[in-house]
Structure 1
């Protein structure tokens, strides 16, 4: 059984913890019944022994099986990771969604989007990455309340007493636009990054972000990409996070000077998402690679499928 999950880019400027989209860069997870359990990792993270010893995928996979009282067995786990780790491209969400979806397929349990997202919330408290990882496309996601779910293996407490759930809407992204993602070789910890953000925001800044997030969403929903640049302004998080790695300002400046429709920090960084028309993506990618030769540059399409079963 093989499941593929896309990379994701969240926030998109003003849509803090709310907006996200999927990219055609993937982690692939293979789970096969075996006499003895084993883990093999190729690609990103293959040189990190801790990922084998304390593997998050295996932990979540087993917890989901236990949650549904499925018989415990041994499995051979093989992972091929193309999503850079700790770079703001949803590598954690890919693992979470991959583990839950894989468990559902092993149990031959029908996939329920809302159910899976609510399980995923037990491992990631914001929905902007997990939603596009599961559903693909451009997603607007919100939580029903301000209370965050807690990890609890008791079935009634998750589905009966849990007061927070994901409400989301997905729309496919046109092939008229593509993404050029610049990936620095420096990580920015999401946990550390969140600690640097203000605890309070003014009404003026809140209205600014609200209006820009609405306009950005409308532009992507309607396909009016000329609005993306103006609509991607942010006063909540982006500048504070970029100051941890000032070269990100240079990436953004270069992109916007060379026909990028949108240029924003991807998640908490350090990757930078640049959206442009498809016929201009190659030139922009080459320019970025030439200007920042020590960084990785990906020219990507948008993924509208989300988590996909490749082999049953």
Structure 2
């Protein structure tokens, strides 16, 4: 009887102008404790997850089943206990984490021996784009592009920055945030948006974090259109800048926003922003370097 644990980090897409291309993993995690048994049983152990009434309606199970079927396999029955500290519909990649957990669940239960490239492709097929699934899989900051139907990616070294997230109590569905975006940009606007993204990334890689933060806040692809959907969008950016944040952006489609600040100053920024926005969960986060992990020794970690 197999017994294992899968953990997948949260993620934040875009970093401002890196629209649908740049993502970073964050140290909040979705965790599955899995044990084979004679029937299906799924239990959610998190305030962020709804109780399971029918295992076939569970999103992670559905992804795992689809993945198994791609290889003409049938999922063995098992008990899955799910923990998560990733809030749903907040722009922290909860869907991508669940997708990658489902892919890995099938990989482990059906002995698929999937490569990382296959996992990334499957995750992208289910999620629609790779900007969240890539960091959820690999950890760190990952830049992706789809070229000739192939997913190309590069993982870059994590910058020496602290990350502070401002998580509101309200949800914002990705579909809603997508609907406000224009179908096209003029050539002039597209060129300016692309240049901003290029300079932001180059600044990160060369350690010019002040310029990187400035470029983060100059996005033309999505933030100007989504700003009206994000509670306290301008005031959060303004107050974070007062507290010496390099840049503050929408996390994914929102409504969470995140700031990047010099290493060691995250707690100070979080304390200041908590006083200004008491209705928010203000969290100091780290860039997760591990990505998706599988542990086969769960018997000593948690009772299943």
TM-score computed with the length of structure 2 as normaliser? 0.91
Q: Quote the residue 1:30 is aligned against.
A: 33
Cα pair distance change 1:52/1:68, threshold 3 Å: closer
User: Are 2:276 and 1:291 equivalent residues in the alignment?
Assistant: yes
Q: Superposition pairs for residues 297-312 of structure 1, below 5 Å?
A: 297-311=282-296
Q: Quote the residue 1:124 is aligned against.
A: 127
Indicate which of 151, 174, 195 corresponds to 1:166.
151
Indicate which of 156, 160, 172 corresponds to 1:188.
172
Q: Quote the residue 2:113 is aligned against.
A: 110
Aligned partners of 1:62, 1:311: CA distance in 2, in Å? Answer: 21
Q: Superposition pairs for residues 87-166 of structure 1, below 5 Å?
A: 87-145=90-148, 164-166=149-151
Q: Superposition pairs for residues 1-312 of structure 1, below 5 Å?
A: 1-49=4-52, 54-145=57-148, 164-174=149-159, 176-232=160-216, 233-311=218-296
- Per-residue displacement from partner, 1:102-135 (whole Å, max 9, x unpaired)? 2212334434121111111221111110111101
Aligned residues of 1:64 and 1:103 also touching (Cα < 8 A): yes
Aligned residues of 2:213 and 2:246 also touching (Cα < 8 A): yes
1:37 Cα deviation after fit: 0.6
Aligned partners of 2:285, 2:180: CA distance in 1, in Å? Answer: 30
- Per-residue displacement from partner, 1:194-232 (whole Å, max 9, x unpaired)? 111111212222112111111122222333322212221
Aligned partners of 2:213, 2:104: CA distance in 1, in Å? Answer: 35
**May I ask how many residue pairs the two structures share in their alignment?**
293
TM-score computed with the length of structure 1 as normaliser? 0.89
Cα pair distance change 1:107/1:39, threshold 3 Å: same
1:71 Cα deviation after fit: 4.1
1:246 Cα deviation after fit: 4.1
Flag structure 2 segments of 5+ consecutive residues without an equivalent.
Answer: 298-304
Cα pair distance change 1:53/1:236, threshold 3 Å: same
1:239 Cα deviation after fit: 2.2
Aligned partners of 1:48, 1:242: CA distance in 2, in Å? Answer: 33
Aligned residues of 1:172 and 1:304 also touching (Cα < 8 A): no
SS at match of 2:28: strand
SS at match of 1:117: helix
Aligned partners of 2:255, 2:12: CA distance in 1, in Å? Answer: 11
Aligned partners of 2:208, 2:138: CA distance in 1, in Å? Answer: 22
Aligned residues of 1:39 and 1:52 also touching (Cα < 8 A): yes
Cα pair distance change 1:70/1:171, threshold 3 Å: same
Aligned residues of 1:3 and 1:307 also touching (Cα < 8 A): yes
RMSD: 1.7
